[in-house]
Amino acid sequence: MGLIDIARSKSPWILHFDAGACNGCDIELLACLTPVYDVERFGIINIGNPKHADVLLVTGTVNKRSARVLRNLYDQMPEPKAVVAIGACALSGGVFHQCYNILGGVDSVLPVDVYVPGCAPKPEAIIEGVVMALGKMQEREHARKRGAA
Amino acid sequence: MAQRTVIPFGPQHPVLPEPIQLKLTLKDEIVEEALPHIGYVHRGVEKAAERMDYTQNVFLVERICGICSFIHALCYCQGLERLMGLEVPRRAAYLRVIWSELHRLQSHHLWLGLYADAFGFESLFMEFWRSREMLMDIFEKTAGSRVIISACCIGGVRRDISDQHLQETLETLKMLEAAFDKSSEVMLNDYTVKKRTVGKGILPADKAILLGAAGPVLRASGVEQDARQTGFAAYDELRVEPVVETAGDCYARAKVRIRECRQSLDLVRRAIAGLPDTDIAVRPKGRPNGRTISRVEQPRGELLYFLAANGTQKLDRLRVRTPTFANVAPLVHMLPGCEVADVPVIVLSIDPCISCTER
Ligand code: SF4
């Protein structure tokens, strides 16, 4: 494992995008950053710039307008990257699955690595989701390196 | 000649938890025009509400906004109760007040934190959010869930709060108040904080009325209006005096919310002290028929539902008017003339809730 890999697994930076959530998931995600849950002790930092981020956290259903922004953010993130879908809405559309403006869950636009169910999921569940995403990211990176070697 | 530049603010921006885009036309550092672009979280809840059963809609409207979910459900249930001629038991009305006020406290704490973050005071953000967790614990204890509590149902409330939990709630509120005293003191009196907020984004009273501002934005401009004065739920017995400030700037808006937190603390205590001992719900009979309007006060201002029912299981129309929607026009009025660095503070000072606005 190279130096960059170690740094990434010890301090993943996250980017949050609300693609059409009711806010419930967003505030639970923000709560993860605050003293009671404090993900910064794992080195996780919430960052506004997609070019610095390793993990993209998406809350809410994807609608016709936010799909473009979501795609755009994802494309700007450097490899390796992981996507975590948070909440029933991001999984499948949740209560809104029948609404006319909804495309569906996040996986209708992006490849999703980890699904965190719940409406809204508790902060503990969200943290676990991020940690799982890191594992997956590492695995993929190793596979890629083996393939290249 | 200074050059005009157009800068997009959002839809993905560190100070905004939600996507809204403002196109700012700048002349040097000064904002000349702000144009909001919305639609990033539009889902189509109003239409979906026509397709679902009227009892299922309670869960749908709760998910219009996760921050004040209980109050959305309350507004909807209240409208249907009027159409169906249901009399809500007094204990349920009091419990509704308790949960509503706890939601207001939670929402204001959330806002105070985000607001502190907007001017870069991260430790204050952490302080408010730490206290907020106490409120989340109360929700989890009394209703079983942290965010969307689903405690309101047509005809009353779904669950009772036991005496032990009421006692524990009071104790938690005591701790909360002590923490709140400390952090609100900083918000109101700190030299640097005042530099960033006093005199920024002024909205005069006549403009506030003309542009249809709502809630704390309206009250910070000196207009005395609060939907709780109409006496829904148990507010007819637990009287509420609107909290009013006159300066109309960002500082006044923060002050109104801080004073409202104290008011909510007081209301919860009064409601717990006077909690009557009756049933918590009546069984709804028949189907709703007719049209009505239901008004409640959300943390962000007045929320209004228009319901049209036709005697079947499905509603003809559900129209929602949310406070943030009303506050976008005043915001567009406040921004021109301010510096770019103040934009996040002014935008946050209206407490935007985009998922309410766009539904
Ligand atoms: S999953 Fe639930 S809490 Fe999360 S955005 Fe959807 S409706 Fe809101």
Per residue in A114-143, pLDDT (tens digit) is: 898 888 888 888 888 888 888 887 777 778
Q: What is the mean pLDDT of residues B310-324?
A: 84
Task: Calculate the alpha carbon distances from B195 to B157, B259, B315 in Å.
Answer: 45, 20, 51
Q: Is B66 in the pocket of ligand 1 (CB under 6 A)?
A: yes
Give the side-chain half-sphere CA count within 13 A for B65.
Answer: 29
Contact A63 B147 (CB under 8 A): no
d(CA B61, CA B359): 9
pLDDT at A149: 64
Gap from B309 CA to chain A (nearest CA, Å): 20
Identity of the residue numbered B177 = E
Per residue in B184-223, pLDDT (tens digit) is: 888 888 888 888 888 887 888 888 888 888 888 888 888 8
Domain extent for B227: 4-358
Identity of the residue in B44, B51, B353 whose CB atom sits nearest the CB atom of A23: B353
Gyration radius of chain A over CA positions: 15
Where are the strands (E) in B270-329, listed by range?
Answer: 289-298, 301-310, 315-321
Yes or no: say if B203 and B236 are a contact pair by the CB < 8 Å rule: no
Q: Which two tokens stand for residue A72?
A: 């755009």
Where residue B2 falls among pLDDT bands split at 50, 70, 90? low
Report the share of chain B in percent with pLDDT over 90.
Answer: 0
How do the domains of chain A map onto residue ranges? 3-148
Lowest mean pLDDT among B24-38, B121-135, B172-186: B24-38
CATH of domain A3-148: 3.40.50.12280
Per residue in B153-173, pLDDT (tens digit) is: 888 888 888 888 888 888 888
Per residue in B264-282, pLDDT (tens digit) is: 888 888 888 888 888 887 7
Residue B44 forms contact with A (CB below 8 Å)? yes
Whether cis (ω within 30° of 0) applies to the bond prior to B208 is no
Where residue A98 falls among pLDDT bands split at 50, 70, 90? confident
| Number of domains forming the structure of chain B | 1
Q: What is the mean pLDDT of residues A45-70?
A: 83
pLDDT at B14: 64
Per residue in A21-57, pLDDT (tens digit) is: 888 888 888 888 888 888 887 778 888 788 888 888 8
Specify the CATH number for the domain of residue B11. 1.10.645.10
